[in-house]
Amino acid sequence: MPRVTLKDIAREAGVSVMTVSNVVNGNLGRVSPATAATVERIVEERGYVPSGAAQSLAAGRTRLVGLLLPARQDGTALLGSPHDVSVAGALEAALRERDHHLMLRAVENTREVQDSVQRWNLDGVVVMGFTDDELRALDIPDDVPAVVIDASVGDGHAGAVRADDVDGGRLAGELLTALGHRHVLFCGPVDARSQVVAARLEGLRGALGADPVTLHANTTYEDGLAAGERIAREHPDVTAVFATADVLAAGVQAGLIRAGLRVPQDVSVLGFDDADIARYVSPSLSTIRQDTAGKGRSAAELLLQLIEGADLRASRPDGTVHLGVELVVRESTGPASVD
């Protein structure tokens, strides 16, 4: 079926194309109520959909938002974790409710950021999955409205959304301490210079009153599986593992079991996120729940405020929305084993 145009509506209503354009774009002060009602009725009957490009040209905005993610050299999907999928889904839904559109883009350097912004004339960007050092290297232009997720904006112009990671580590440490665990291992991307990981480790350390053993692992089930087998082999005194993501914790748990250990009788396992996998594995995972959907919604709201010219720091000195976390206890944690 051919696309209905402004000319088609104007011809049927017996008015000019400019009159139809005024009605469609809400400039009703220039059109009589009777004419506006006629045009609106024909628009509804004919199923007319305004041209996004034309509206963007008229408004000086594209209503396009870029979600910038790290380029993956191994060719895996950009949204490679349950956390990222949940955040991106909520972000898209919140933007769609405000008549904005989300575009995913993998970037490695500032040139690719600028290319994305200029090529697609993006109204703003949300940046996720980068460490603080990587984020600084991207050098997002000051004139581009931007919100970063799970990173620090420092004295920059961008807004930020993040969970209370220190409190999450504290809750994990308090649970394990209450269960009598004194030999705790912290598993996650500890070599990646991630402020999120560092904050969770800080909270855990404070609750334990001691430094836990740390083991580097990327946030994948496969890395967790290898880490679990390594823990059983190299750290036989460890009685509890706190992993920085549920998908990693699920792998650690499977690796421990494969190595002949029982969870939680021999080793307790605690994750972070409260992703679906935490409920599906056996034993089900105790975890620190964070509001991943809330991250997406908050990022959308912050970005739209920036696009409209709001001064975020008038209400938030650090430009950051902090979301709370909570402990969820399931089957994978129990009292420390006694020799």
CATH assignment at residue 145? 3.40.50.2300
Q: Which domain holds residue 115?
A: 64-163+293-324
1 in a structural domain: no
pLDDT at residue 125 in the model: 92
86 plus 186 within the same structural domain: no
- First-to-final CA distance of the chain: 77
Same domain for 200 and 117?
no
65: alpha, beta or left? (left if phi > 0; alpha if psi -120 to 50): beta
Tell whether 329 is covered by a domain: no
Same structural domain for residues 269 and 172?
A: yes
Average pLDDT (18-32) is: 80
Does residue 149 surpass a pLDDT of 60?
yes
Question: Is the pLDDT confidence value at 339 over 70?
Answer: no
pLDDT for 200 beyond 60: yes
Closest to 192 in 3D by CA, of 254, 105, 132: 132
What average pLDDT does the segment 258-278 reach? 96
Which of the pair, 152 or 15, is modelled with greater confidence?
15
Q: Is 125 part of any domain?
A: yes
Task: Name the more confident of 140 and 256.
Answer: 256
pLDDT score of 57 = 44
Residue 298 has pLDDT above 70, yes or no: yes
Long-range CB contact pairs, 1-8, < 8 A, 24+: 3/49, 4/46, 4/47, 4/48, 4/49, 5/48, 6/48, 8/46, 8/48
Q: Are 72 and 94 members of one domain?
A: yes
pLDDT confidence tier of residue 282, bands split at 50, 70 and 90: very high
Cis, peptide link before residue 317, omega less than 30° from 0: no
Helix or strand or coil: residue 327? strand
The total of structural domains in the chain comes to 3
Residue 334 counted as domain residue = no
**Cβ distance 205 to 212 under 8 Å?**
yes
State whether 200 and 274 are in the same domain: yes
- Whether the predicted pLDDT of 156 surpasses 70: no
Label residue 29 exposed, middle or buried (CB < 10 Å: 0-12, 13-18, 19+): exposed
User: Residue 163: is its pLDDT beyond 90?
Assistant: yes
pLDDT at 27 over 80: no
Share of the chain above pLDDT 90, in %: 53
pLDDT above 90: residue 158: no
Higher pLDDT, 192 or 103: 103
Closest alpha carbon to 144 in 130, 157, 128, 162: 157
Say if residue 70's pLDDT is above 90. no
Average pLDDT of the segment spanning 324-332: 97
Q: In 10 A of CB 123, how many CB atoms?
A: 22
Tell whether 131 and 147 lie within a shared domain.
yes
The answer to whether the CB of 230 falls within 8 A of the CB of 251 is no
Q: What is the mean pLDDT of residues 293-306?
A: 94
